[in-house]
Amino acid sequence: MPLDDLHPVHSLGLALPRTPQRRCAPRLFRMEQLGLTPAFLDLLADQADHLPWDTWDVARRRRQMLERYRSILDTTQRALLDACAGDAADPSWEALLGALPCVLREALLRFRPHRRRSLRKYRLSRHATRCWQVQPLADTRFEQPAVDGRTPVRDFAAMPLALTYHPDMLRFVSGIAETIHGQCGASALEMAVHQMLTLADGDSAVDPAPEGLHQDGADYIVSALVIRRRGVLGGTSRVLRGTAGPVLLERELQEGEGIFQPDAGSPLWHEVSPIRVAAAGHPGQRMILGIDAHVLAEARV
């Protein structure tokens, strides 16, 4: 999309209420505290069938299976496996699949994606009290620290313009920006907003966040604002101090609930447990919005 199509707009942001807790603590919030409406959740949920599939999950699960059977692979097959970057579109996957025994190849091809997602980046600058200029960006590359099960750089489908410029989406990013300003005085930020739908079906549990306990590598995050939660069990969000606890916040987020917290450079780590269907034969879903926010170097006052 041409950059000229992504014009800047101004939006007022409501900061999350201050808490008596220390600044380096997770904060549970309700969407109404940011000025968001239930109709916004319905609009996002209605996009479920239009969100592109995240095929990277398929590559990750294939890799896990192949690692379990690594001992039966020959030298060429192992080299192809090691060359795969973790992206389902990587030509090394196709070359490897074609070189595998038929039974193993068919087992790998049975994996299907279970997450749909899109991304929109924004650059925000504070012009006055609560007033932010919001510039959507065309860049769909997203970078995080590399951990087991996650590649550092990925490309996602762009969030549609109708959602990018929706007043509640602008209130969402501006409200988080205003909250961050209250935390550290930041007046310019870059944010990545993720819309992600995790689908549960059948007997197996599925991971909303397959990397497990982790940090995103951003200065501040909204690890999840739950948009839709229907027909599923699990999906408990946990925030720990360090990688071994103690647990500072543990909650099965319901629709309209979210968690805001410092991330990179803080002692806070987070995870979400797998989800499974609540009733056999009835598929379930959990949709969220997440934010990774980076304070720009020159933007502290």
CA–CA separation, 262 and 128 (whole Å): 24
Which tokens sit at 59? 């590559």
Within 13 Å, how many C-alpha atoms sit on residue 19's CB side? 13
- The pLDDT profile of the chain, 301 residues, written as one tens digit per residue, is 444 589 999 999 999 998 766 668 999 999 999 999 999 999 999 999 999 998 888 877 888 888 888 888 888 888 888 877 555 566 777 788 888 888 888 888 888 899 999 999 999 999 999 999 999 999 999 887 655 555 667 889 999 999 999 999 999 999 999 999 999 999 999 999 999 999 999 888 999 998 899 999 999 999 999 999 999 999 999 999 999 989 999 999 999 999 999 999 999 999 999 999 999 999 999 999 999 999 998 644 4
pTM score of the predicted model:
0.89
Closest CA to 118 of 156, 89, 144, 155: 156
Q: Which two tokens stand for residue 66?
A: 């192949």
What the block records as the tokens of 261 is 């917290």
In the block, residue with structure tokens 């020159």: 298
